[in-house]
Amino acid sequence: MKLKNMKANLKDGAAGQPVAATVLFADICGSTRLFEKYGDWRARQIEAQVLGLLMARTNENGGTVIKTIGDEVMSRFPSAQQAVRAACGMHQALRDDVDLAGLNISIRIGLHHGQVLVESDDVFGDAVNVAARMASLAKADQIMTTRETIGELSDDLQKMTRNLGQSRVRGKREQMELAEVIWHDTTSLTQIAGGHEDLRNLLFARLTLEYRGHTFELAPSSQVFTIGRGEKNHLVVDRELVSRSHAAIEFRQGKFILMDQSTNGTYLQLESGARFFVRREELTLQERGLICFGQAAIEQNPDVVRYACSYTDGFEAAE
C-alpha cells in the first residue's frame, strides 16, 4: 500500500481492525539451483507449477492467498486447523505430482496464529513477522510453527507435532517455544532425548572466523553476528560489492547458520572443495573453508574470511 493511501485510511478511520488469523509462508527451497540447472524459462515454468499447487491447497482449505513473493506464497487462514491441514497438503501434493516428483524439489513452511491487521487484501502485524521467521527457520520438507499455534489445534492434529524447545527468534526479546508439524511417516524421525535445551547445552560448539588478521569466536550463547559494509556490523567488509547488511550468523538448533540478506550473494568453498552460493537464503556451516561476500571465494582474495566449525560433545570434552 502506498504511504499516502495508508495515511488516508488512518485519517478516515478505515484502517483494518485486528482479527485472529493464521499466517502461512511456503517457500521453494534452492530455487537458485533451478535456474542454474534448467535455465530461466524452464525454471520459471517449474516455479509456477509449484506455486500453483501451493495456492490450490490454500483455497481448498478455506485460506486466502495474500500474494506471491518470487518463489514464496503468503496465505491467511481463519484458523490454525485449516492452515496446518493446508501445509500438510502442500507437502503431499508436491510429493504426489508426477511431473515434479523427479525434479527433487522441496518446500519449507512456517506459520503462526495471532492477531493481524487486514488492509486492502494484505495483512500486517507481529503474527506476520513471526510466521515469516518460522519459514526461515524451517528446513526442506519441514513445517515450523510456535507452541502458541499448536495450542489452537484439535487433539488429533496436536498428536502430529513435536516440541523443539525454546529458541531465539529474530525481532523478539524473549525466546519462543518452537514446534514442528509432522506431515509424513513418523518412523524415520529422530527422537529428542530429554529436553531440547538440555541437548543444546551438551554442545560446546565453536565457530572461528579469521579476516585480515582479526579473529572472532562464536559460541552457542553468542548474539547474532552481523557482517556487511555498514559500520555497525560486528565484521565490517568495506567493499562496493558488499551490502551494508550483507549477512548474519546465528547458532540455531545445534548448528551455526549463515543467513544471506544481500544483493550480490555470498560464496563459500569448503576444505573438501565443494562450492556454494547463497543469496537471500540460509546455509548451515560445516567443516572449515572460505567465505567471500559479493564475489567468488578464492584463496588469493584478500577479503576472504576463513572459518572453522567444531561441534564437540560435552562428554567427549571431559574425557
**Nearest Cα to Cα of residue 25 among 61, 59, 56, 71:** 71
Same domain, 175 and 98: yes
In a domain, 1, yes or no: no
Same domain, 211 and 165: no
In a domain, 5, yes or no: no
Amino acid at 238: D
Same domain, 142 and 248: no
Q: 76-127 pLDDT, tens per residue? A: 999 999 999 999 999 989 888 888 877 778 889 999 999 999 887 888 998 9
pLDDT band at 12 (very low <50, low <70, confident <90, very high): very low
In a domain, 148, yes or no: yes
Looking at the 3D structure of the chain, how many domains does it have? Answer: 2
Alpha helices in the chain (DSSP H): 3-12, 31-38, 40-60, 80-96, 98-101, 126-137, 147-150, 155-158, 196-201, 314-318
Last residue of a domain, one of 196, 230, 258: 196
> Model pTM?
0.57
Torsion of CA 36, 40, 46, 51, to 10 degrees: 110
The CATH number covering residue 184 comes to 3.30.70.1230
Q: 225-261 pLDDT, tens per residue? A: 999 999 999 999 999 999 999 999 988 767 889 999 9
Q: What confidence score (pLDDT) does residue 79 get?
A: 95
In a domain, 2, yes or no: no
Q: How much of the chain exceeds pLDDT 70, in percent?
A: 83
The CATH number covering residue 214 comes to 2.60.200.20
Q: What confidence score (pLDDT) does residue 311 get?
A: 66
Q: What confidence score (pLDDT) does residue 196 get?
A: 47
Same domain, 235 and 263: yes
